[in-house]
Amino acid sequence: MSKKSIDKVLKEEQLKFENQGDDHSVKSIDTPMREGAFEKSSSEKINLIKDHFYEIMDILGLDMSDDSLKGTPYRVAKMYVSEIFNGLDEEHKPKVTLFDNKYQYGKMLVERDISYYSMCEHHFMPIYGKAHIAYISSGKVIGLSKLHRIVKYFASRPQVQERMTVQVFQELKKVLNTEDVAVMIDGFHMCVSARGTKDITSSTVTMESGGSFREDRKWAEFMELVKPSKR
């Protein structure tokens, strides 16, 4: 095959993957996982990723004998397995305990400005921002910190923001045993700001609602409560 033909094939492959990278359709609310995803231990995964990341850095032309770079493959591997992507393992799902709504509080409870960090599954670049949650008790209440932990759990995996929004929404409905849940997520995507269009000012907003929050009045009330404050 001539060099011209090879270049044409490579260009076609590049365009195919570029177009796939812009696909934000949510085919399932489940994070796509292969069968046997957890057959290897965390230590085994760290060692394998370390070796592969060493190869990536070497291919890029970096001098892997330099003192500043020697430990990078291990640090990246440990960060991936133990921190950034630890939400892939259901064993890390927050354990939720509900309490009786002793005060008979019947209005919406809003937890806003929950900070989160995630990773875009298309380019493996960071997504970060704020999540806002509201629910109306069906007789039970949840500890406020657990709302944060649920958001951070689903953020700790390669993500599409639309999917993450639905995952948090569905989990809250299940653990709270109510349809009266609202979720809004505002995210900054480094795959937009650091590459491609390099737009550093835009953010992406996604939302989901159920029960009484599908009513215009209740949704408007939620929106009013989560809008940015001047404090």
Domains in the chain (CATH in brackets) are 37-84 (1.10.286.10), 94-226 (3.30.1130.10)
State yes or no: is 121 an active-site residue: yes
Task: Give yes or no for a contact between 208 and 167, defined as CB atoms under 8 angstroms apart.
Answer: no
Per-residue tokens: 39: 């057959």
How many Cβ atoms sit within 10 Å of the Cβ of residue 53?
Answer: 17
- d(CA 85, CA 112) in angstroms, rounded, equals 24
- d(CA 80, CA 77) in angstroms, rounded, equals 5
Residue with tokens 């070497």: 58
State yes or no: is 120 an active-site residue: yes
The DSSP letter of residue 71 is T
From the list 132, 159, 189, 208, the catalytic residue is 189
From the list 111, 132, 161, 171, the catalytic residue is 161
Between 24 and 47, the more confident residue is 47
- d(CA 91, CA 106) in angstroms, rounded, equals 33
Q: Is the pLDDT assigned to residue 5 strictly greater than 90? A: no
From the list 120, 159, 167, 208, the catalytic residue is 120
State yes or no: is 122 an active-site residue: yes
Using one digit for the tens of pLDDT, what is the confidence trace for 69-88? 999 999 999 999 999 999 99
From the list 159, 167, 171, 191, the catalytic residue is 191
For the entire predicted model, the pTM comes to: 0.88
Please report, rounded to a whole number, the percentage of residues in the chain having pLDDT higher than 70.
87
For 115, the 3-state DSSP assignment is strand
Using one digit for the tens of pLDDT, what is the confidence trace for 159-188? 999 999 999 999 999 999 999 999 999 999
- d(CA 167, CA 134) in angstroms, rounded, equals 15
Per-residue tokens: 102: 């002793």
State yes or no: is 191 an active-site residue: yes
